Amino acid sequence: MSDPYDYIIVGGGLTGYALAGRLSSKNSSLRILIIEAGSNVASHPLTSTPLACFAAHHTELDWDYTAVPQQHLNNRTCYQAAGKALGGGTAINYGTWTRGSAMDYNLWASLVGDENWNYEGLLPYFIRTETHYDPNADPAVHGSSGPIYNTVVSRSSPDRRYPLREPLRAAWERLGVQFNRDANNGRPLGFAEFGEAWRNGQRQLASEAYGLSKCPGITVLTNTLVSKVILEDRNGHQVATGVKTATGEIYNASKEVIISAGAYRTPQLLMLSGIGPAEGLSCHSIPVLVELPDVGRNLHDHFCFPQWWKVCHPDKGLAMGTPLWTSPAYAMGMPLDWNAGIAFDQGDAESLKDRPYLNPAFAHAEVIVIYAPISEGYAEFEAAMDGTHISTLVLLMAPTSRGQITLANNDPASAPVIDPNYLSTEVDRAIVRDGIRTVAKLLLDTPEGQDIVVHEIPRPGNTSTRLDLTDEEIDDNVRCAGLTFMHPGGTAAMGKVVDTQLRVKGVKGLRVADASIFPVPIVAHYQAALYAVAEKAADLILG
């Protein structure tokens, strides 16, 4: 048993380490312990080599989970990524930097009854997080002195210029999709320059950006798995006093324990600690100390449908693998220029006012054209990085389907049982269909698109994309090839499991700070939102 720390943070991922770094910078006298199941990967070749993010999944940097068979995806068991390293998801992600829509955060605030969580309430934390390089963006809504450097592709280097940039711009405009000068201003509808958090050609680990070597009050234990939060009954109230590791060590916290283990591991740890649905705990012989039936529920995740396309003129250097991309600048980030926020318009907005996710002002989906054959999950495409193929991704960003996390057993080393319940609603299936049809129009029904690609290279068993695909043909393709885009959240949702101060209901001295608190999905690639949560959490904790 150790002398007490002031704060113990379980999980040294993006949110956990950023929170620790900010707490320490605000009060250098604090003694903070971070306990991380993975290792310090600052010098690992998969984090220090440009574009190594393409190879980081399914490695020791990844928990490499598998979901249960998905009923609406032909009962396939789908891969679920989760960073297992100091820095968490920043060790394996693609570095995308998007905040999402103000409407998402405003809905969040409305659901939990606290305007501090709306977009305007979080804006100071978005600003505090970043150093933003884009002279076209409004400086009033962007930061200039934060720890995370981010910019748009065209500003990363004068030598990083992709031949498909202007043809795709013209194709989007021909479809009536408007150019958005800054999709990180709370209004992501339209096509905008792709934002990325790369610095000098490398993704930024949260542990490095927030000063692993500059915070003497922070102690870090890596390769250490926490088995439970220790709760004590004090006059009828459960109080978190510390944690116990899988090897039996006990660490005490004089102020608080904060769980930042991610949308999969956070609910698992809560349940292993006796906090959760009574039935789910009792069946694994775990004493129920605090009954919270919503622990593990409300799982939402962004869904992805990838496609591969053969290019018409590979001799023009259109895609990664071409010998014409000789400048080192092409390794400074992902090979693309635009991402497009797409609304799914079901008709009269007035009739949808009580159903916010169907409001046509929402960005329901995202379409990305990547100048490389992204091969995640499909081994048959892994050797095709030869300049002859590009990819498109249709991302379901505002899913209405909800899944859950449950326990496999009471062993903390076991993986949680993950059931995202993808595409369980007709709304989600319709949004994905609409996105796939948008891609078809972009590449097959515009002169620019017709000059870019010959045709789709479908996954074996799928129907090649045509402009007249039926709903049934699209649904069949999606069931065969859809997968996660690795943005899970909601499993310790604010308003259900934690309050608006991030405190776990029914327990003193215990908070949660990670994507599991998101009561609704955010139309964003989550790292920008999670850094803002970490910054806000530091203010909440220190009052």
Rounded to 10°, the helix 119-129/102-112 angle is 120
The yes-or-no verdict on residue 112 having pLDDT over 80 is yes
350 band by pLDDT with thresholds 50, 70 and 90? very low
- How far is residue 30 from each of residues 108, 214, 219, 254, measured CA to CA in Å? 32, 14, 11, 11
What is d(CA 238, CA 510) in angstroms, rounded to the nearest whole number? 10
What is d(CA 464, CA 307) in angstroms, rounded to the nearest whole number? 10
The yes-or-no verdict on residue 353 having pLDDT over 50 is no
Indicate the residue type of 220. V
Burial class (CB in 10 A: 0-12, 13-18, 19+), 459: middle
Angle (CA) 29-229-491 rounded to 5° is 105
The yes-or-no verdict on residue 242 having pLDDT over 80 is yes
pLDDT, tens only, 184-232: 999 999 999 999 998 887 889 998 998 766 778 999 999 999 999 999 9
State residue 357's pLDDT score.
62
Token output for 526: 């989550």
**Cα of 498 vs its chain's centroid, Å:** 20
What is d(CA 309, CA 463) in angstroms, rounded to the nearest whole number? 13
DSSP 8-state symbol, 39: B
Q: What is the DSSP string of 172-183?
A: HHHTTPPB-S-T
State residue 175's pLDDT score.
97
State residue 345's pLDDT score.
66
383 band by pLDDT with thresholds 50, 70 and 90? very low
Residues 489 and 516: beta-carbon distance below 8 Å: yes
Extended strands (E) in 19-102:
32-35, 65-66, 79-80
Q: Phi, psi at residue 453, to the nearest 5°?
A: -120, 150
What is d(CA 289, CA 275) in angstroms, rounded to the nearest whole number? 6
State residue 355's pLDDT score.
57
> What dihedral angle (degrees, nearest 10) is formed by the CA atoms of 352, 353, 355, 359?
70
State residue 58's pLDDT score.
87
What is the mean pLDDT of the segment spanning 241-249? 97
Extended strands (E) in 270-336:
275-276, 290-291, 303-311
Burial class (CB in 10 A: 0-12, 13-18, 19+), 519: buried
Average pLDDT over all residues of the chain: 92
Residues 6+ positions from 226 with CB-CB distance below 8 Å: 10, 35, 37, 243, 244, 245, 246, 261, 269, 412
137 band by pLDDT with thresholds 50, 70 and 90? confident
State residue 43's pLDDT score.
87
What is the mean pLDDT of the segment spanning 425-429? 92
Residues 1 and 250: beta-carbon distance below 8 Å: yes
Residues 50 and 75: beta-carbon distance below 8 Å: no
The yes-or-no verdict on residue 523 having pLDDT over 80 is yes
Residues 412 and 272: beta-carbon distance below 8 Å: yes
pLDDT, tens only, 32-62: 999 999 999 988 888 877 777 778 888 898 9
The yes-or-no verdict on residue 377 having pLDDT over 60 is no
Across 34-38, 287-291, 377-381, 473-477, least confident range:
377-381
What is the mean pLDDT of the segment spanning 439-456? 97
What is d(CA 134, CA 152) in angstroms, rounded to the nearest whole number? 7
260 band by pLDDT with thresholds 50, 70 and 90? very high
What is d(CA 158, CA 68) in angstroms, rounded to the nearest whole number? 46
506 band by pLDDT with thresholds 50, 70 and 90? very high
Extended strands (E) in 184-336:
190-193, 195-196, 198-199, 202-203, 218-221, 226-234, 237-245, 250-259, 275-276, 290-291, 303-311
Q: Phi, psi at residue 308, to the nearest 5°?
A: -120, 140
The yes-or-no verdict on residue 352 having pLDDT over 50 is no
Between 160 and 379, the more confident residue is: 160
What is d(CA 182, CA 486) in angstroms, rounded to the nearest whole number? 24
